[in-house]
Amino acid sequence: MLRLGQEQKLELIKQLPKTELHLHLDGSLSPEFMERESRRSGIRLPVPAADIPQWIMEQKCDATKQNVDNVQTKGGNWSVFDFCNQFLQTKIAIQEAVQDLLNRLYANHTVVYAEIRFAPVFSTLKGLTAREAVEAALAGFNAQDKVRGGLIICLMRSFDETHGLEMVELAKSFWGRNPFGVVGIDVAGDEGSFPLASESDAMFKGVMKAKDYGIPITIHAGEWPDNKFKTIKNIEFAINTLGADRIGHGIALGRHPDVLKLLKDTGTAVEVCLTSNVGRGFKVKSFADHPAKVFAQEKIPFALSCDNLLLSGDLSIRPNPCGEIMHLLDDVLDGDELERWSIIRRCLLHGLERGFNPSCPPGFKEWCTKKIDELFKQFQIPATN
């Protein structure tokens, strides 16, 4: 029977080539970058940079005590994201933030493919245009050579229809660029107050335009509690009408086997963000309760992501790419260890297969698959499918 020690598990997980398909730039800044940028732009830090992760999590937890449903105002953003976005207001800052994030992902977690998402509209507070913000973010990708992938442009669901249409035009003009460009669009923000479940919802026209252009689509859907907001409707609409290629979070699927079948039939993949969902316990109570267990049983394609390295989770848990695999292996999945590792392998392959970047160099996915299989062999995990 297979039984890897904790250190062996950590070593193997660290070395496995990984993907990040759902990662927000503004929610993933490092204290080191914030310190550098605060000096350059004269931003006053509320606490020493090294204490910002703790400080900002306290701010987030306090804010949700007063705003239990995470409600956004029309055209607004959550305050902790506003805090982060003040560091993303110049070309050099955006470029460095992206480069810093990609460097950390590779050096600390062997992430080899990342789709970084951001809302350029939040980087226009000091005169930058949304186009310049996207150019700067792509310059961040081009300034490194370890991580493949590209940018996802977020349409903010609390904004109006014009915003959605403009963001899709912007995405189109950078889509398909080599080696790095925009690879897709997303709809993000407060799903409870601003659902996307009918043709009259603000982001409908924008997303349909992206679909007409053939730009890959992912949508935050089924993240807010289904029992309160009926967010399952957002998932059904995303798949049936908008033709989404991927669903961000999809927690509501755990309560709806019929819609799970829809995912299976259409081959729609889920971007699973375990720690982000379990943080503060109001979306998913615990890792053991996470519907990823059901996705694995039902063979729904899903890949693990962090959502926000800085802002997701709570005061006791914060996501990172290696940690997400460890949680899936030890805290979410049941069954014997060999079976659980085979699900991890499948999950890693889904991450590679469901990435949006068509300009991945030929052979990249095959190289990663071979590397994964070699590592499994090295750690004496027999091949299964």
Subset of 203-222 contacting Zn ion (CB under 5 A): none
* Vertex 23: Cα angle to 180 and 299 (nearest 5): 100
Instruction: Report the nearest approach of Zn ion to the CB of residue 249 (Å).
Output: 7
Residue-level length of the chain? 385
Query: What are residue 221's DSSP bridge partners?
Result: 249
Task: Kindly tell me which of 100 and 271 has the beta carbon lying closer to Zn ion.
Answer: 271
Subset of 63-122 contacting Zn ion (CB under 5 A): none
Instruction: Report the nearest approach of Zn ion to the CB of residue 385 (Å).
Output: 31
Residue that has been written with the tokens 């949680």 in this structure: 327
Instruction: Report the nearest approach of Zn ion to the CB of residue 308 (Å).
Output: 7
Subset of 173-202 contacting Zn ion (CB under 5 A): none
Subset of 298-327 contacting Zn ion (CB under 5 A): 307
Task: Kindly tell me which of 20 and 307 has the beta carbon lying closer to Zn ion.
Answer: 307
User: Binding string, 10-39, against Zn ion, x = CB under 5 A?
Assistant: ------------------------------
Q: Which residue is nearest to Zn ion (CB)?
A: 307
Instruction: Round to whole Å and give the CA distance between 157 and 160.
Output: 8
**DSSP symbol at 360:** S
Catalytic one among 223, 236, 271, 324?
223
Per the structure block, which two tokens stand in for 162?
Answer: 């014009």
Catalytic annotation on 166?
Answer: no
Number of residues that bind Zn ion (CB under 5 A): 1
Task: Kindly tell me which of 236 and 307 has the beta carbon lying closer to Zn ion.
Answer: 307
Q: How many other β-carbons are positioned within 10 Å of the β-carbon of residue 73?
A: 10
Query: What are residue 271's DSSP bridge partners?
Result: 248, 303
Per the structure block, which two tokens stand in for 218?
Answer: 């992912």
Instruction: Report the nearest approach of Zn ion to the CB of residue 310 (Å).
Output: 13
Q: How many other β-carbons are positioned within 10 Å of the β-carbon of residue 339?
A: 13
Task: Kindly tell me which of 100 and 307 has the beta carbon lying closer to Zn ion.
Answer: 307
Task: Kindly tell me which of 229 and 376 has the beta carbon lying closer to Zn ion.
Answer: 229
Residue in 243, 245, 222, 221 with CA at minimum distance from that of residue 354: 245
Taking the CA of residue 25 as centre, how many other CA atoms within 13 Å lie in the half-sphere pointing to its CB?
Answer: 35
Q: Which residues bind to Zn ion, rule: CB under 5 A?
A: 307
* Catalytic (active-site) positions: 223
